[in-house]
């Protein structure tokens, strides 16, 4: 913990110096297509990132997974000690699925829960990369968080990760009494690829007639593997998530380009959006995935699904794991926790 804190303080200091140098050289933060200026700390971080690191696709899958863990270790919110954190394994359609259950405090009855799917382009990310944010969210939302270590591409392409996530939600719902969870207050959530998987899980539960999550929190979700939204071109380079990296992720995840249209990979391509759980969709103003996230929210709204959407206009993709070094990201995480807490604690008795 001491080593991480020292590295994080050093990184914040370097980001601050980078920001000041950029300003001193007349390099003001860029302004996006909506007239919003990039957060100065994000600007400094991106300058530093370009100097010391490479896009994840340059590492390959195994090294990329190590790099993802390293970046979140440095940038994420502080480690929090909870009442209980338990690693378990549940049965999945293709073998055991590791999960991690975060319990923020002693139970006072049946508690709300969030089944959480981590981001990482379906290729990187795991229980460790998102451990701190899951701990933080469990406490901030006052809910049990069940993080799912679904199978990753390229070893396990579409739809294997989808099947794991759907199986995990079914398991949590079926075992809610034993877990001290209120089955009527089980939400799904995820960031980036995890937001995709949360949206797809809701669609699958609806289509098979299974009880639905009470709420879906989609944090800068990828909703269309065709990458045809304008924001993919607007923010193709220089804003943390590069177009080349997205292309590489998709190439690992789908074995046939035709699969990019499969709603299990592109939930925006579903035939119907009716009857899905109420949703909150969060996007970032400098993110290649911004427009497709907003398009998904619009589809839900058009289908009369209660849906709110919020654009954190000055931030970049990945801000959910940047709360330790970026003040605006920390405020965004707090905002998302408040929205989720209100959603879960408003459905008591439903």
From the list 18, 192, 266, 314, the catalytic residue is: 192
Distances from the Cα of 133 to the Cα of 127, 243, 274, 289, angstroms: 10, 26, 31, 21
From the list 182, 224, 287, 291, the catalytic residue is: 287
Question: Residue 237 belongs to what H/E stretch?
Answer: none
| Nearest of 110, 257, 136 to residue 189 by alpha carbon | 136
Question: Which pair of structure tokens corresponds to residue 40?
Answer: 């100065």
Secondary structure percentages of the chain, helix, strand, coil, to 5: 45, 20, 35
Asked if 321 contacts 133 with a C-beta cutoff of 8 angstroms, the reply is yes
How many other CB atoms are found less than 10 A from the CB of residue 142?
16
From the list 43, 130, 136, 317, the catalytic residue is: 317
Catalytic annotation on 317?
Answer: yes
Residue identified by tokens 């008591």 is 348
Number of helices (H) and strands (E) in the chain: give both, helices first: 11, 8
Distances from the Cα of 282 to the Cα of 33, 110, 181, 308, angstroms: 18, 28, 26, 9
Question: Which pair of structure tokens corresponds to residue 304?
Answer: 């009369």
Q: Within 13 A of 210's CA, how many CA atoms are on the CB side?
A: 18
Distances from the Cα of 235 to the Cα of 30, 91, 165, 221, 249, angstroms: 11, 40, 29, 16, 17
Question: Which pair of structure tokens corresponds to residue 178?
Answer: 């034993």
Catalytic annotation on 287?
Answer: yes
| Rounded Cα–Cα distance for residues 243 and 222 (Å) | 13
Distances from the Cα of 99 to the Cα of 39, 83, 111, 211, 316, angstroms: 35, 17, 18, 21, 28
Residue identified by tokens 């007639």 is 209
Catalytic residues: 192, 287, 317
């Amino acid at each position: 913990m001491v080593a991480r804190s020292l590295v994080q303080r050093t990184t914040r200091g370097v980001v601050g110096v980078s920001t000041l140098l950029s300003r001193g050289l007349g390099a003001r933060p860029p302004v996006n297509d909506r007239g919003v200026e990039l957060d100065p700390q994000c600007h400094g971080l991106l300058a530093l990132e370009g100097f010391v690191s490479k896009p994840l696709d340059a590492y390959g899958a195994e090294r990329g997974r190590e790099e993802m863990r390293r970046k979140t270790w440095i940038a994420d919110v502080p480690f929090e000690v909870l009442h209980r954190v338990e690693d378990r394994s549940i049965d999945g359609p293709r073998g055991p699925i590791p999960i991690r259950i975060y319990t923020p405090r002693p139970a006072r009855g049946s508690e709300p829960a969030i089944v959480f799917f981590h981001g990482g382009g379906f290729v990187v990310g795991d229980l460790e990369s998102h451990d701190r944010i899951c701990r933080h969210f469990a406490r901030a939302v006052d809910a049990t968080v069940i993080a799912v270590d679904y199978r990753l591409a390229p070893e396990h392409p579409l739809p294997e990760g989808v099947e794991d996530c759907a199986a995990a939600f079914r398991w949590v719902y079926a075992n809610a009494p034993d877990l001290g969870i209120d089955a009527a207050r089980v939400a799904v959530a995820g960031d980036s690829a995890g937001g995709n998987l949360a949206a797809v899980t809701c669609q699958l539960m609806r289509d098979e007639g299974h009880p639905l999550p009470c709420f879906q929190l989609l944090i800068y979700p990828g909703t269309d593997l065709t990458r045809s939204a304008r924001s993919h071109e607007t923010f193709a380079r220089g804003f943390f998530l590069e177009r080349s990296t997205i292309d590489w992720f998709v190439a690992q995840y789908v074995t046939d380009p035709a699969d990019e249209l499969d709603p299990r990979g592109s939930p925006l391509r579903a035939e119907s959006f009716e009857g899905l759980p109420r949703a909150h969709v969060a996007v970032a103003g400098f993110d290649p995935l911004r427009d497709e996230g907003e398009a998904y929210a619009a589809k839900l709204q058009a289908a009369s699904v209660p849906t709110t959407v919020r654009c954190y206009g000055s931030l970049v993709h990945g801000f959910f794991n940047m709360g330790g070094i970026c003040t605006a990201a920390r405020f965004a995480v707090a905002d998302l926790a408040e929205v989720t807490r209100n959603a879960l604690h408003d459905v008591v008795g439903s």
